[in-house]
């Protein structure tokens, strides 16, 4: 995957958190995930990608970050249902925003939310996930991009 493509998703992460009152997001150096060991924290919002690019984009975060993020955007209800909703919405926003550069052909699904660390994530064959670490306040989350190489 090209640096330019990874940068599109980094820009999406920064843009998302810059629209919260606490804009103090820091993006770490992207790295290639170990094969067969998907990175996953407490909750993961996964977006399927089809079209010329096939695979998925996902946002994974600890519950505490999601609770803090809800409060930060003015949502007082930090119920489990809203945490599930939010983790999917963040993933959807970052993937959707990528279409400014990747075009309408970068087709995305509605989010699927996975709780806990799955034993396996069915990621595209012949590809590995690029993980973009995110530090927001004192919490760590990540966006992962796993697309088949064209």
Which residues of this chain interact with another protein, rule CB under 8 A? 15-16, 19-20, 70, 73-75, 77, 81-82, 85-86, 88-89, 92-100, 102-104, 106, 108, 110
- For the bound state, the minimum distance from the C-beta of residue 136 to another protein, rounded and expressed in Å, comes to 14
User: In the bound complex, what is the minimum distance in angstroms from residue 96's beta carbon to another protein?
Assistant: 3
CA 111 to centroid of chain Cα atoms: 10
Name the residue nearer to another protein (CB basis): 28 or 103. Answer: 103
CB of 82 to another protein, least distance (A): 6
Encoded tokens for 29: 């150096």
- Would you say 4 or 120 has its CB closer to another protein? 4
Nearer to another protein, 30 or 88 (CB): 88
Nearer to another protein, 38 or 49 (CB): 49
Task: Return the closest-CA partner of residue 85 out of 111, 121, 50.
Answer: 111
CA distance 92 to 122: 19
41: closest CA among 93, 96, 91?
A: 91
Who's near 135: CB < 8 A, 6+ residues apart? 25, 26, 27, 28
């Amino acid at each position: 995957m090209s640096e330019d493509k990874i940068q599109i998703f980094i820009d999406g992460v920064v843009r998302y958190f810059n629209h919260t009152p606490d804009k103090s997001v820091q993006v770490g150096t992207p790295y290639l995930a170990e094969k067969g060991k998907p990175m996953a924290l407490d909750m993961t919002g996964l977006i399927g990608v089809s079209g010329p690019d096939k695979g998925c984009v996902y946002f994974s975060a600890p519950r505490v970050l999601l609770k803090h993020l809800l409060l930060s955007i003015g949502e007082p209800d930090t119920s489990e249902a809203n945490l599930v909703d939010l983790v999917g919405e963040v993933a959807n926003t970052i993937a959707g925003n990528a279409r400014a550069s990747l075009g309408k052909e970068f087709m995305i699904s509605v989010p699927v939310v996975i709780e806990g660390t799955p034993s396996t994530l069915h990621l595209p064959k012949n590809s590995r996930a690029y993980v973009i670490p995110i530090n927001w306040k004192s919490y760590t989350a990540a966006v992962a991009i796993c697309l088949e190489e064209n």
